[in-house]
Each structure stands twice: as C-alpha cells, then as structure tokens.
C-alpha cells in the first residue's frame, strides 16, 4: 500500500513538472523576439522600405503604357460647306443649263434629229457629272461622330535634374532607416525581457528568503512559548515574537503576489499566456552573480553601434536628398518618347472608316522659367529641416556619451555593493549563529535573537538586490554601448 501511494505521489510530481515550462534567459529572449508585435511591425516596415527601394530603381528604366478611347459626337466634322456640297452634287445639271443657255439659239439651225440627240447627250452627261460630284461630296464626308483611338507610348528619362538619383538615394536611406529601427526595437525588446527576467529571479530568491525568515521566527516563537510555560520568559516577549511572525507572514504573502505578477509580465513579453506556469533556470541558483571586471569604455564603439544614432544620421541623409530632389524643380528635364498610335476614322489615306496607325519618336524638353520662387522657398525649408536633424544627432551623441559613462559608473558601483553585501551576509550569518547559540544557553534574550534575525534578513535581501543590480547594470551598459543583441 505504501509503495502504491509513493508511485502515485511521484506521478503527480512528474505531471506538475511537465505542466511547467522551463525557461532560461536565452529562450525568453528568443520567444520575445518571435512573438513581440512591435518586432513584427518593424519587420513589415523593413519589407515595405525594400519594396520602395525597388520601385525607385524602376524610374531609371523606360516605361510603356497603352491608351485607348472612344468618343461619340452629335455632329460630324465637315470639310465642305453646304453651298459647296450643293454645287458639287448639281455639277452636271448646272453645266447642262449653262450649255443650253449658251448654245440654245444656235441649236435651232440643226435638224430636229440632231437637236434631239444633243439634248439626250447633254442630259446623260449631266447625270454622270451629278453622280461624280455627289461621289466627291461623299468622299469628303468624315463621319466623325464615332471616333476610336489608341496608342502605345514609351518614355525614357534622359535627364530629370537629378530627381531620380535623389529619389533612389532617399529610398536606400529609407531602407537603412527601417533596418536600424528594427534593431532599435530589437534591443528595446531584449532590454525589457532582461529586466523582467531578473525581476522574477529576484522575487523568487526573496520568496525563499521570506519563507526562511518565517521558519526562523516560527521556531523562535515556539521556543519562547515553551519558555513562557516554564516561567523563564514573559508574555510580553511572546507577543513581540508573535508580531514578528505576523510580519513575516505578510512579507511572504506580498512577495508571493509580486512573483505572480512579475511572471505574468514575463509571459506577456514572451508572447505566452499570462497564466502559463513557467520556471526560470536561475530561480534555484544559489549564487546569482559574481563581481564583474571593470568595463572598458569605448564611446566611439557606442557611436557606431547605437541604432538610435544611426536612425538620426539616416534622417539627416534623407533631408539632404530631399533638398536635391526639390532643387531638380529648377533644372531642365529631358525625355525620349516613342510609340504607335491608331485611330478610326483615320487621315493617312484620305478619310477612311477603318483603323490605321503610325509610328512616332520624339524628344520632350521641359525648362522651368518662372515660378515666383516656389522651389527656392521649399529648398530653404528643407535645408532648415536638415539642420534641425543634424543638431538632434549631435545632441544624441552627447547624451549617448553621458549614458555610457553613467552605465559604466553604475557597473562599478554595483560591483562594490555586491562585495559589501557578501561581507555583510557573512557577518549576519555569524551573528545569527551566535545569537541562536546564546539563546539556547539562556544567556541572550529573545529580543536580541529577533534583532539578529532581522539583521540577517536585511543582509540577505541586500545581497540579492546587489546580485541583481550587477546583472542589470551589465544589461544597461550593453544597451548604452549598443551591444545588447550580440
């Protein structure tokens, strides 16, 4: 029966361990970088910038476009006026009437048969001429009420005043800006996850410390209660120890709640459910950190690595190219053009009611003459914006230099605090051991033991804080140097 109960307990413990996710600092960083929404946004922005750069490259290449259209008008275009149309349509009749009026008196001398034949011939000629005149009128009819047109157009920039070059340089800088923004967000994410990770580790160690302190005061409370029963201790001493027990229990509750909240924050940063049961590898490490070697300052390296400074430099470069782009508005622009155009009706073989086209090539030149200083004002405004960006970059360099020196100072300060905290812990351990020994021998009061326990608690807590400070000061220095992601 006992063996069966033991197996059941072991199985329950195994399930509990399996239900918890074991994480170290590197795995937390990897999860945060993978699941962080801002990192995803930065990656998409980088892709957008790459596509913008590719689009800018196409401005160097010829572009081909197709055009097509249809138009209906209520009237058609007429080359001949109404009088001309009437004259051409009655050309034979008018000519016949003119001949008859001119030769009519002389035709009376001809025999009747010849007169009849002449009249018949004139009538036939008039009909042929009228028909020919009408054909001419019909040939000049355009019938442009239904017009169709289409064209294929090719344009090749030759010189655009440097606008295309400036646009491409801006696109290149924009891609660098997106990459530096992604790196800045990456370092910010790592900084947040490191802070949250070591906060959980700190609270976990303080939780064990609070529980250890509670066990100490409970043991002391039990000993004092026995001494009260034996009459060698007063009730006042017992109440004092009981107050310490209550304080220790409250401290345990507070640190437990703080640990739960800190783990929720860590899970949220890692992209895990906030109620995920996680265990950190450094939670059970007895000695969190040792004194680090004094950092070697290299401010120039920080200038080279800090993505924030690179982003400001990108803004300065983009401002300069924006100025060049605006300057192109005052320079001539040259383009080659070519294509093929069709229309229906067309005029390439008279007026024909069918599609016909023609090839064409040409050169288009645009020369700005006067724009009331519009471009000049825009160029001045752009130069002013570039000057502002330059000043912001220089100010950032000064702030980074200060930040690096402050971070290095804090690393040294954290190392000194850790050395002092370790020495204080050793003295507090010895003091507590001596107090417990004296209390058991009856030569030291419970108040002295409680003071020793309180001093031990403070020393241990300061040691934990000092160890975490060493870790966080190193993280701060890496962030200041721009090497946090290395």
Q: For every one of its 486 residues, what pLDDT tens digit does the chain have, with 9 covering 90 and above?
A: 334 333 333 344 334 444 678 999 999 999 999 988 888 899 999 999 999 999 999 999 999 999 999 888 888 777 777 887 777 777 777 776 676 666 666 656 666 776 667 667 777 777 777 787 778 777 777 777 788 899 999 999 999 989 999 999 999 999 999 999 999 999 999 999 999 999 999 999 999 999 999 998 898 888 888 888 887 777 887 888 889 899 999 999 999 999 999 999 999 999 999 998 999 998 888 777 665 666 777 889 999 999 999 999 999 999 999 999 999 989 999 999 999 999 888 878 877 788 889 999 999 999 999 889 999 999 999 999 999 999 999 999 999 999 999 999 999 999 999 999 999 999 999 999 998 888 888 778 888 888 899 999 999 999 999 999 999 999 999 999 998 875
Best CA proximity match to 126, nearest among 154, 163, 94:
94
Best CA proximity match to 151, nearest among 287, 4, 342:
342
Strands 21-23 and 278-280: parallel
Residue 340 and residue 333 in contact, taking contact as beta carbons nearer than 8 Å: no
Question: How far is 122 from 322, CA to CA, in rounded Å?
Answer: 83
CB atoms within 10 A of CB 81: 9
Question: How far is 289 from 302, CA to CA, in rounded Å?
Answer: 25
Give SS3 for 387: helix
pLDDT recorded at residue 260: 95
Distance of alpha carbon 277 from the chain centroid: 33
Alpha carbon distances (Å) from 255 to 76, 200, 211, 389: 93, 11, 10, 47
Question: How far is 330 from 480, CA to CA, in rounded Å?
Answer: 45
The token pair at 352 is 């024909």
pLDDT recorded at residue 8: 36
pLDDT recorded at residue 79: 75
The token pair at 249 is 């229990």
pLDDT recorded at residue 94: 72
CA quadruple 195, 198, 204, 205: dihedral sign: negative
Note the pTM of the prediction, 2 decimals.
0.78
Best CA proximity match to 432, nearest among 461, 457, 407:
457
Residue 43 and residue 189 in contact, taking contact as beta carbons nearer than 8 Å: no
pLDDT recorded at residue 97: 67
pLDDT recorded at residue 4: 38
What are 300-305's contacts with CB under 8 Å, separation 24+? 301/481, 301/482, 301/483, 302/400, 302/401, 302/404, 302/480, 302/481, 302/482, 303/397, 303/400, 304/482, 305/481, 305/482, 305/483
Taking each helix axis as running N to C, give the angle between helix 82-89 and helix 91-107, from 0 to 180 degrees, rounded to the nearest 10.
Answer: 50
Question: How far is 206 from 219, CA to CA, in rounded Å?
Answer: 20
Question: How far is 336 from 61, CA to CA, in rounded Å?
Answer: 12
Q: Could you tell me which residues come within 8 angstroms of residue 235 by beta carbon, excluding any fewer than 6 positions away?
A: 228
């Amino acid at each position: 029966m006992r063996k069966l109960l033991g197996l059941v307990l072991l199985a329950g413990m195994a399930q509990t361990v399996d239900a918890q996710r074991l994480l170290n600092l590197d795995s937390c960083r990897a999860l945060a970088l993978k699941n962080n929404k801002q990192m995803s946004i930065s990656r998409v922005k980088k892709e957008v910038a790459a596509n913008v750069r590719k689009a800018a490259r196409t401005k160097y290449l010829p572009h081909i476009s197709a055009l097509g259209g249809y138009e209906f008008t209520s009237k058609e275009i007429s080359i001949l006026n109404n009088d001309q149309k009437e004259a051409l349509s009655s050309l034979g009749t008018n000519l016949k009437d003119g001949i008859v009026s001119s030769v009519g008196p002389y035709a009376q001398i001809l025999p009747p048969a010849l007169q009849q034949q002449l009249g018949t011939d004139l009538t036939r000629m008039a009909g042929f001429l009228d028909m020919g005149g009408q054909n001419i009128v019909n040939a000049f009819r355009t019938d442009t009420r239904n017009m169709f047109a289409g064209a294929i157009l090719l344009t090749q920039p030759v010189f655009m005043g440097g606008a295309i070059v400036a646009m491409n340089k801006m696109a290149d800088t924009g891609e660098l800006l997106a990459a530096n923004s992604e790196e800045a967000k990456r370092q910010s994410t790592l900084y947040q996850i490191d802070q949250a990770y070591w906060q959980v580790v700190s609270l976990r160690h303080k939780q064990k410390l609070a529980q250890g302190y509670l066990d100490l005061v409970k043991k002391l409370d039990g000993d004092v209660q026995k001494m009260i029963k034996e009459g060698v201790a007063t009730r006042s001493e017992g109440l004092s120890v009981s107050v310490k027990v209550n304080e220790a229990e409250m401290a345990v509750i507070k640190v437990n709640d703080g640990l739960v909240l800190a783990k929720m924050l860590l899970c949220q940063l890692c992209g895990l459910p906030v109620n995920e049961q996680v265990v950190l590898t450094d939670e059970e490490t007895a000695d969190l950190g040792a004194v680090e070697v004094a950092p070697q300052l290299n401010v120039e390296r920080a200038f080279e690595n800090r993505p924030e400074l690179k982003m400001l430099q990108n803004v300065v470069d983009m401002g300069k190219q924006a100025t060049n782009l605006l300057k192109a508005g005052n320079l001539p622009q040259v383009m080659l053009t070519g294509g093929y155009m069709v229309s229906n009706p067309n005029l390439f073989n008279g007026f024909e009611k069918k599609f016909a086209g023609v090839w064409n090539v040409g050169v288009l030149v645009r020369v700005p003459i006067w724009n009331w200083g519009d471009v000049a004002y825009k160029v001045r405004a752009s130069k002013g914006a570039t000057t502002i960006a330059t000043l912001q970059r220089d100010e950032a360099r000064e702030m980074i230099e200060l930040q690096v020196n402050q971070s290095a100072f804090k690393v040294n300060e954290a190392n000194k605090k850790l050395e002092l905290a370790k020495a204080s812990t050793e003295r507090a351990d010895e003091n507590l051991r001596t107090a417990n020994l004296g209390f058991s021998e009856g030569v030291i009061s419970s108040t002295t033991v409680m003071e020793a326990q309180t001093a031990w608690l403070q020393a241990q807590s300061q040691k934990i804080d000092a160890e975490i400070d060493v870790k966080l000061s190193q993280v701060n220095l890496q962030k200041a140097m721009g090497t946090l992601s290395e």
